[in-house]
Amino acid sequence: MRESIVTGMIKRPMFRITETDNSGRHNMREVYRKKSRIYLSVKRVMDVVLSTAALFFLLPVFLMTALAIKCEDHGPVLFVQQRAGKDRKPFYMYKFRSMYVNADEKLKEMMKDNEQTGHAFKIKNDPRITRTGKWIRRFSIDELPQLINVIKGDMSIVGPRPILTFQMEACSQYERQRLVVRPGLTCYWQISGRANVTWEEWVELDLNYIEDMSLWTDIKMIVKTVPAVLSGDGAY
């Protein structure tokens, strides 16, 4: 078995051998269907309660971030982009804008400089990122508006990070299994080095989460996210 390289957590096996498919994994949809209805209900309640509380306590951070973005280039504070949700259903994800206003128009021409493997896009020194954007990305402040997505039911606090819809459509059937659950704010990838993790490892970590899903797993993930975010490891 090959092991993923992770930070801040126990190394996890990349593949779990079972008799169910050629990849050595259970069918993720079947795995998810077997999760306790009580757990899934509690998870949803926890999502709404914690996200609402976080929005209240982080209001000063929201206001200061919005002011910094507005003062730099007078553009919109929020960036709204379509992402692939549960069962690949598209939804509009909210972020604090960390790039210049015309950044989306330059994405296709910059794909050749992609430093991430597979179907994700990351460039360490992305020229489209503003000065404020570099700072808020360093500590994942740009992701905070997704608490609204969690309350709306588009996302969960813990779950695979959503990627762009066209990127998800380009994924294999095996890779698409990562979204048989709601995407989330944090996940194994988030606490394991983020952009330092390859796409192939990222997929395996997400499928590991679906197998591991439980209230205790979610609580541990939330707790481990705090030091991971503060360290800024792989955040760009």
Whole-prediction pTM: 0.81
**The residue count for the chain:** 236
186 phi and psi angles, rounded to 5 deg: -135, 160
Contact 191, 213 (CB under 8 A): no
- Range of 5-9, 115-119, 134-138 with top mean pLDDT: 134-138
Instruction: Measure the CA dihedral 34/165/104/185, to 10°.
Output: 0
Least confident of 39-48, 73-82, 163-172, 218-227: 163-172
The more confidently predicted of residues 9 and 180 is: 180
Antiparallel, parallel or unpaired: β 90-96 and 78-84: antiparallel
For residue 53, the surrounding DSSP H or E stretch is: helix 37-57
The more confidently predicted of residues 155 and 198 is: 155
The more confidently predicted of residues 124 and 132 is: 132
Q: Looking at residues 14-40, what average pLDDT do you find?
A: 72
Arithmetic mean of pLDDT over the chain? 83
Q: Is the pLDDT of residue 156 over 90?
A: yes
Which residues, at least 6 apart from 60, have a Cβ–Cβ distance to it below 8 Å?
none
What does 167-222 look like in DSSP terms, one character per residue? HHHTS-HHHHGGGSS--EEE-TTTTTTGGGS-HHHHHHHHHHHHHH-SHHHHHHHH
Q: What is the pLDDT of residue 9?
A: 43
Q: Looking at residues 36-48, what average pLDDT do you find?
A: 97
Q: What is the pLDDT of residue 64?
A: 97
Least confident of 74-78, 120-124, 229-233: 120-124
Q: Looking at residues 192-218, what average pLDDT do you find?
A: 91
Q: Is the pLDDT of residue 34 over 90?
A: yes
Give residue for tokens 């395996």.
Answer: 204
Give residue for tokens 């929201």.
Answer: 62
Q: Looking at residues 106-115, what average pLDDT do you find?
A: 58
Q: Looking at residues 138-157, what average pLDDT do you find?
A: 96
Provide the β-strand partners of residue 158: 186
Q: Looking at residues 172-178, what average pLDDT do you find?
A: 93
Contact 211, 26 (CB under 8 A): yes
Q: Is the pLDDT of residue 130 over 50?
A: yes
Q: What is the pLDDT of residue 166?
A: 85
State the alpha helices, DSSP H only, in 58-172: 59-73, 107-110, 131-138, 146-152, 165-169
Report how far residue 70's alpha carbon sits from residue 175's, in angstroms, rounded to the nearest whole number.
38
167 phi and psi angles, rounded to 5 deg: -70, -40
Q: What is the pLDDT of residue 170?
A: 86
CA atoms 46, 206, 141, 73: torsion sign: negative
Q: Residue 55: name the closest of 190, 145, 184 by CA.
A: 145
Q: What is the pLDDT of residue 231?
A: 77
